Chains A and B, each alone.
Chain A
Amino acid sequence: MAAYAITLDEDRLEEWVELFAEDCDYRVVTRENVEQGLPNVLMWCDNKDMLRDRVESYRHVNVYNPHYDRHVLGPLHFTAAKDGLCAFEQSYSLFQTSLEGESRLFSVGRYRVEALIDGNQAVLKSVTVIADTGQVPSLLATPI
């Protein structure tokens, strides 16, 4: 997850995508919906091509607030491991800083992750971002 955070924080989104398996699932949901059992998503890519499409769209098409991201991660909490597939949860804080240097807490929540572990390599199979911060400040573009 260190590589996950660093690639996002350094705006290396293409490298961030490469941390995922081809048949991955990445979604951003909010705690408000999860607690009510509602399936709504803020973002949902159900394979790696959709992640590539998002990143390409950010690079060439979408307009969003120029900013720096900074992820601060909590400890990993392993929940299951089977046949090289490892499940864990981890809390995060994501701060955003404007080009004029003004920082704000953008989102806080937790990751629910499934990763395929092969030796020293980990490939992300599924990442669900469960954001406590249901009220998105301004807009959500770059992934959490």
Chain B
Amino acid sequence: MPADVAWPRKDYSRVPFWLHHDEDLYALEMERIFRGPAWSYLCLEAELPKPCDYRSTWVGDTPVIVSRAKDGAIHAFVNRCSHRGAMIVRELRGNAERLVCLYHRWCYSNAGELTGLPFRKGLKGEGGMPEDFDMQAVSPQRLRVTNCHGMLFGTFSESAEPLEAYLGEFGVGMIQRFLARPIRILGYSRQRIAGNWKLYAENLRDTYHASLLHEFFVTYGVDRATQKGGVKMDARHRHNMNHAYAASDSDEDAKTAYADTATRLDRMRLRDQKLLKFHDEFPDGMNLAAPTFFPNALLIQINNTLGTRQIRPKGPGAHEVFQTLFGYADDDAAMTRHRLISANLVGPAGFVSMEDGEAIEAVQKATRSSPEGCAVIEMGGRGPVADQAHRVTEAPIRGFWSYWAELMGVEPVGGIR
């Protein structure tokens, strides 16, 4: 099914609202992006520490098993039995030498190969599978998996470029920054947002909203647009990082900048300041870094809270944000406690993240009745997309749409990239 998108502008500074509501378009996204040449974030290597560990995850709306074989190699394959299509693994995680479908007990190896099935040769010479039944030929579809410094990515496409090229120097460098030391998983959170998955992807590329929607940032001085920082992208503008440097602006700058907003500056102070404490643990001095990778991944640092987020689309009108929080293996008890206290900032109840759910749902609700309407994306300028050393921009959103349009085969003639 070909999609047809009438882009009002070649630089994606207008994005039609119907792209967040259409069932057919959603099905096409699953095929051309999530089962196409994009690399999707699967999980962290640290979540599969032992041989035969497995974990279920999602690539788009396809259920996927990521597992570590006995030889240590990591595999990913579709969590769907070759026989009648049941989910092979229904648990979120486990450790098993063989994965067995509940329905007719078909067995799979850790690499996702069908290795056996009951009554294959029948009983007493009766029944059974045909002699020439080829187990290999019907094994579940496997993903190519690449481990980037402990962050696992997979793609269904044989022709996708290597992960390192896909992420670019920028992406690989950021993953290295976060995962330079062995990590320890602190746990998970999930948030189900009644909005299209691309609205979340846009949100992650929108540094403009951070200090306005999340007033907590500014009120309590965690992050202000006046701090030094900006947006960085890969060469293709599909990935992005919003970032800011700790203590790099003055209160005077901030007061002037926010004079025309309703934002409260220095009127309020937290009684317990430990929530905002920041131990500078990276050589670059950033207290806020949010590299996001097309189509489904984010690494997040807000002060000392560290995590990944995976976007799991659930139909055109909903998605789940699955967040994995981690610390470092050599953290002492006090540091782990500090990271958990800082976790009050992020996640579904986070002081600086709870509003995203509300804003996205507000967009989804109001745009449904305006298929011909468009979002206006001009903050930070029109035309070509480029890195910017300031934070009053939403140019990376246009970068996202340009790559989305390329994969979907709906770029306008002369569209920017």
Contact = CB atoms under 8 A, between A and B. Distances in A.
Contacts of B254: none
Given A62-B351, A65-B358, A44 B216 contact: no
B189 A63 contact: no
A138 B194 contact: yes
B374 to A, nearest CB: 25
B271 A53 contact: yes
A39 B215 contact: no
A140 B361 CA distance: 14
Interface string A120-143: 000000000000001111111100
Contacts, number: 117
Given A60-B264, A62-B355, A134 B186 contact: no
Given A43-B349, A63-B358, A136 B215 contact: no
Contact of B358 (A32, A36, A45, A138): A138
B192 interface: yes
B272 to A, nearest CB: 4
A47 B272 contact: yes
B357 interface: yes
B100 to A, nearest CB: 22
A141 B187 CA distance: 20
B213 to A, nearest CB: 7
Interface string A19-52: 0000000001010110010111111111101101
Contacts of B340: 39-41, 44
A137 B264 CA distance: 29
Given A53-B272, A62-B216, A135-B320, A40 B343 contact: yes
A56 B355 contact: no
Given A30-B188, A38-B186, A61 B341 contact: no
Interface in B181-230: 185-194, 213, 215-216, 219-220
Interface of A: 28, 30, 32-33, 36, 38-47, 49-50, 52-53, 56-57, 60-65, 134-141
17 contacts: A32-B92, A32-B188, A33-B188, A40-B343, A43-B344, A50-B344, A53-B272, A56-B268, A61-B219, A61-B264, A63-B215, A134-B190, A135-B190, A136-B349, A138-B193, A140-B348, A141-B349
Minimum-distance CB pairs A-B, first 5: A40-B187, A38-B187, A136-B348, A140-B349, A139-B357
